[in-house]
């Protein structure tokens, strides 16, 4: 491939090729940026006009101009809280076990490989799992809690990985110091490792949970309904969430509903942005505090 | 302070020590159960997909399922050939790879070998934002922006089609491919670059003749993982590719992917326990096996060449 022939023509050709690639590379890099700008502009243009107070306080309706996202917004918030309440303790617990307690043996390897593979399972499959286990076998029906359990399983691999990374930022010297004073493994984790690691664990966990907010397919499969006339008042209530509502509006043929979808997307993106900003804020605060 | 408290507890009498030891065991057990839940989840997925599929394969032979070219489980005249769903999935995924493969690799090469830190500071977050956009938003974009745009140039393009769903799916997997490829390029030791440059090779020759081939395993792994994500992606294709299981490789037509089919059936009122209902588990099993194979292949490719590098 590499031929060295230092004739002037060769050098000129090489220089042209180099410049050409620089240009192509710059254009390609611009591609991602342009796509993002076009996508956001399109959505803002379509949906901004629909963002009035009634849109936030109304229930879905057969008439596009009366329809609102109140139940979807409330449903998303409840689902997020319930999912977090289930997934964070289990996920952080699993991470603590793998990082602080587990011996390096084949069984630990099995658990680790398994978590990696679970992260690659398509989300719609988690929907089938939730449908069969939570909705049917455990008879939770198409309820908020069934949705939260399904989403918790979906989020677990990512949360475990994020929490493990958070635990790894704690210097070994802290653990050694605590153990040398006679503390047990769990006391070391509880009083020394976790207090130091919690901000960075939280950062990772919030980022993982922001995926839950945008996830649609598993909830469609387990049966989040779109038309509900009451806000969910218990974990056993039927529910809908923002992405499901957006999907429903997008697939209607009438253009007016697509404006609703775009407005819903704006709300969803703002919500995700807030969560990410919160994660970044926590990370920055934590970085300042690091020298203990 | 917390440390002091822990220490004070330990220094106490033997009754206290027994309590601490019991607590230690209980906590350890609880944490172990948490870690085990992942394994349980995997088993549950495999168990459910297999048992429900078995019920389906009592009515339809595996051969008919895998080789039939007509998929009409919800019609009066039922046919259970899954190939239209498979070709729909492959078609959209390959279109996605055709876009995201070259663009992702070029982005990675540009970022790792050419770009100034200032460009990196703009492009990396852009890719991260693209990666964080929910797929239903991409679906909206494909249906209401890209399809009408493409129809201006390709009048034969149907309102639902594999082409724009595939292209937008390419944008969705672009961050995965770009950032994993960049990691692979980054891992190539500088000594290789210096050696090549010292021999008089230009930067272009060094990049494409030395660095990219050295990173090929990581780049291939990134491509495989990208395809796996495209195969398992649901919302873009459910919104923009249509819901008609056409047995075709024509990107201008509507197709239905395996994921979109699962969503369509679960949202409809197919009676629970019927053969039509069980199809979603048979299709889910096939989907699970396909993505598993792709993920394992990606992992193998990555690991196989890892040790071989200089």
Which residues make Cβ contacts (< 8 Å) with residue B117, sequence separation at least 6? Answer: none
For residue A283, the model assigns a pLDDT of 78
Interface of B with A in 122-181 (CB under 8 A): 122-123, 126-127, 129-130, 132-137, 139-141, 143-145, 171, 174, 178
B9 has pLDDT over 60:
no
Residues of A with Cβ-Cβ distance to B234 under 8 angstroms: 122-124, 216-217
Asked if B39 lies within 8 A of A111 by C-beta distance, the reply is yes
**Closest C-alpha among A221, A250, A205 to residue B145:** A250
Residues of B with Cβ-Cβ distance to A21 under 8 angstroms: 204
**Closest C-alpha among B120, B240, B116, B104 to residue B174:** B104
Distance from CA of B23 to the nearest CA of A (A): 8
**Closest C-alpha among A53, A95, A17 to residue B31:** A95
Which residues make Cβ contacts (< 8 Å) with residue B141, sequence separation at least 6? Answer: A39, A42, A43, B168
Q: Which fold has domain A54-289?
A: MetI-like fold (1.10.3720)
Choose from A263-267, A282-286, B71-75, B244-248 the range with maximum mean pLDDT: A263-267
**Closest C-alpha among A174, A168, A155 to residue A215:** A155
**What are the tens digits of pLDDT across the range B134-153?**
999 999 999 999 999 999 99
Can you tell me the distance from the alpha carbon of B310 to that of B303, in angstroms, rounded to the nearest whole number? 15
Look up the ipTM and state it. Answer: 0.90
Res. A90 pLDDT band, cuts 50 70 90? very high
Which member of A22, A214, A276 has the closest CB to residue B114?
A22
A230 has pLDDT over 90:
no
Can you tell me the distance from the alpha carbon of B86 to that of B171, in angstroms, rounded to the nearest whole number? 21
Asked if B287 lies within 8 A of A153 by C-beta distance, the reply is no
B39 has pLDDT over 70:
yes
- Structure token pair of residue B297: 């292949």
Closest residue in B to A213 (Cα) is B134
Handedness of CA B174, B179, B184, B185 (dihedral sign): positive
Can you tell me the distance from the alpha carbon of B207 to that of B227, in angstroms, rounded to the nearest whole number? 25
Percent of chain B with pLDDT over 90: 57
The CA dihedral of A176, B32, A145, B53, to the nearest 10 degrees, is 140
Asked if B137 lies within 8 A of A43 by C-beta distance, the reply is yes
DSSP A32-69: HHHHHHHHHHHHHHHHGGG-SHHHHH----SSGGG---
Res. A42 pLDDT band, cuts 50 70 90? very high
Interface of A with B in 53-112 (CB under 8 A): 89-91, 93-94, 96-98, 101-102, 110-111
- Does A32 contact chain B (CB < 8 Å)? yes
Can you tell me the distance from the alpha carbon of A151 to that of A212, in angstroms, rounded to the nearest whole number? 7
A227 has pLDDT over 50:
yes
- Does B6 contact chain A (CB < 8 Å)? yes
Interface of A with B in 231-270 (CB under 8 A): 243, 246-247, 250-251, 258, 261-262, 265, 268-269
A5 has pLDDT over 80:
no
Q: For domain B83-304, is the CATH number 1.10.3720.10?
A: yes
For residue B6, the model assigns a pLDDT of 52
Q: Per DSSP, what are the bridge partners of residue A238?
A: A143
**What are the tens digits of pLDDT across the range A115-126?**
988 989 999 999
Residues of A with Cβ-Cβ distance to B299 under 8 angstroms: 116
Percent of chain A with pLDDT over 90: 44
Asked if A133 lies within 8 A of B44 by C-beta distance, the reply is yes
Res. B305 pLDDT band, cuts 50 70 90? low
CB contact at 8 A, B171 and A285: no
Alpha helices in chain A (DSSP H): 8-47, 53-57, 70-96, 106-119, 123-130, 144-168, 172-180, 185-188, 194-214, 217-222, 242-250, 255-289
Q: Rounded mean pLDDT of chain B?
A: 88
For residue B275, the model assigns a pLDDT of 83
Residues of A with Cβ-Cβ distance to B2 under 8 angstroms: 191-192, 195
CB pairs < 8 Å spanning A and B: 269
Residues B161-179: what's their mean pLDDT? 95
Percent of chain B with pLDDT over 70: 94
Asked if B291 lies within 8 A of A122 by C-beta distance, the reply is yes
Asked if A28 lies within 8 A of B103 by C-beta distance, the reply is yes
**What are the tens digits of pLDDT across the range A145-201?**
999 999 999 999 999 999 999 999 899 999 999 999 988 889 999 999 998 888 888
For residue A3, the model assigns a pLDDT of 55
For residue B21, the model assigns a pLDDT of 85
- Does A158 contact chain B (CB < 8 Å)? no
For residue A67, the model assigns a pLDDT of 84
Can you tell me the distance from the alpha carbon of A81 to that of A244, in angstroms, rounded to the nearest whole number? 18
Asked if A128 lies within 8 A of B31 by C-beta distance, the reply is no
- Does A18 contact chain B (CB < 8 Å)? yes
For residue A6, the model assigns a pLDDT of 63
**Angle A70-96/A144-168 helices, nearest 10 degrees?**
40
Asked if A17 lies within 8 A of B11 by C-beta distance, the reply is no
Res. B1 pLDDT band, cuts 50 70 90? very low
Can you tell me the distance from the alpha carbon of A153 to that of A91, in angstroms, rounded to the nearest whole number? 10
Residue with tokens 């096996």: B289
Is A143 in a helix, a strand, or coil?
strand
B310 has pLDDT over 50:
no
Can you tell me the distance from the alpha carbon of A82 to that of A159, in angstroms, rounded to the nearest whole number? 15
Res. A64 pLDDT band, cuts 50 70 90? confident
Res. B240 pLDDT band, cuts 50 70 90? very high
Q: Rounded mean pLDDT of chain A?
A: 88
Phi first, then psi, for residue A213 (nearest 5°) are -65, -35
First to last CA, chain B: 50
Closest residue in B to A39 (Cα) is B141
Q: Per DSSP, what are the bridge partners of residue B80?
A: B71
Asked if A125 lies within 8 A of B107 by C-beta distance, the reply is no
């Amino acid at each position: 491939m590499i031929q060295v022939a230092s004739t002037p023509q060769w050098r000129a050709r090489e220089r042209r090729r180099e410049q050409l690639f620089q240009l192509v590379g710059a254009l390609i890099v611009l591609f991602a940026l342009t796509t993002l700008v076009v996508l956001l502009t399109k959505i803002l243009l379509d949906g901004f006009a629909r963002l009035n107070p009634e849109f936030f306080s109304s229930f879905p309706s057969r008439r596009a101009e009366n329809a609102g996202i109140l139940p979807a917004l409330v449903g998303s918030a409840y689902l997020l809280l319930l999912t977090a309440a289930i997934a964070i303790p289990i996920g952080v617990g699993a991470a603590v076990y793998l990082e602080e307690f587990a011996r390096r043996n084949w069984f630990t390897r099995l658990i680790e490989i398994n978590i990696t593979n679970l992260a690659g399972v398509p989300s719609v499959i988690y929907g089938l799992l939730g449908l069969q286990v939570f909705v049917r076998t455990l008879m939770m029906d198409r309820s908020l809690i069934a949705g939260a359990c399904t989403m918790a399983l979906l989020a677990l691999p990512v949360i475990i990985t994020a929490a493990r990374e958070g635990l790894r930022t704690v210097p070994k010297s802290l653990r050694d110091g605590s153990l040398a004073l006679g503390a047990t493994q769990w006391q070391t984790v509880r009083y020394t490792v976790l207090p130091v690691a919690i901000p960075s664990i939280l950062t990772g966990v919030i980022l993982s949970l922001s995926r839950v907010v945008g996830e649609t397919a598993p909830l469609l499969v387990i049966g989040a309904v779109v038309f509900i006339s009451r806000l969910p008042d218990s974990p056993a209530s039927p529910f809908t969430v923002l992405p499901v509502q957006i999907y429903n509006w997008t697939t209607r043929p009438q253009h007016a509903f697509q404006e609703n979808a775009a407005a819903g997307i704006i709300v969803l993106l703002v919500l995700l942005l807030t969560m990410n900003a919160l994660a970044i804020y926590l990370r920055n605060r934590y970085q300042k505090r690091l020298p203990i | 302070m917390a440390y002091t408290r822990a220490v004070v507890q330990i220094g106490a009498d033997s009754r206290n020590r027994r309590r601490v030891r019991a607590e230690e065991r209980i906590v350890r057990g609880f944490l172990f159960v948490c870690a085990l839940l992942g394994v349980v989840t995997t088993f549950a997925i495999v168990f459910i997909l297999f048992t429900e599929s078995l019920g389906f394969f009592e009515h339809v032979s595996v051969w008919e399922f895998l080789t039939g070219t007509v998929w009409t489980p919800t019609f009066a005249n039922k046919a259970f050939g899954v190939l239209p769903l498979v070709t729909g999935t492959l078609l959209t995924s390959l279109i996605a790879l055709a876009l995201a493969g070259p663009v992702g690799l070029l982005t990675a090469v540009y970022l790792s070998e050419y770009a100034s830190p200032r460009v990196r500071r703009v492009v990396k977050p852009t890719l991260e934002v693209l990666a964080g956009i929910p797929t239903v938003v991409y679906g909206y974009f494909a249906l209401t922006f890209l399809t009408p745009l493409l129809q201006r140039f390709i009048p034969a393009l149907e309102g639902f089609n594999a082409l724009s769903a595939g292209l937008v799916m390419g944008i969705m997997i672009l961050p995965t491919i770009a950032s994993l490829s960049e990691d692979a390029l980054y891992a190539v030791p500088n000594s290789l670059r210096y050696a090549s440059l010292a021999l008089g090779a230009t930067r272009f020759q060094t990049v494409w003749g030395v660095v990219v081939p050295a990173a090929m395993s990581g780049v291939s792994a990134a491509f495989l993982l990208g395809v796996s994500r495209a195969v398992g992606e649901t919302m873009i294709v459910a919104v923009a590719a249509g819901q008609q299981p056409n047995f075709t490789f024509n990107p201008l037509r509507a197709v239905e992917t395996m994921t979109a089919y699962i969503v369509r059936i679960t949202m409809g009122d197919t009676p629970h326990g019927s053969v039509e209902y069980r199809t979603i588990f048979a299709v889910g099993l096939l989907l699970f096996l396909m993505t598993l194979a792709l993920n394992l292949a990606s992992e193998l490719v990555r690991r196989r060449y890892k040790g071989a590098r200089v």
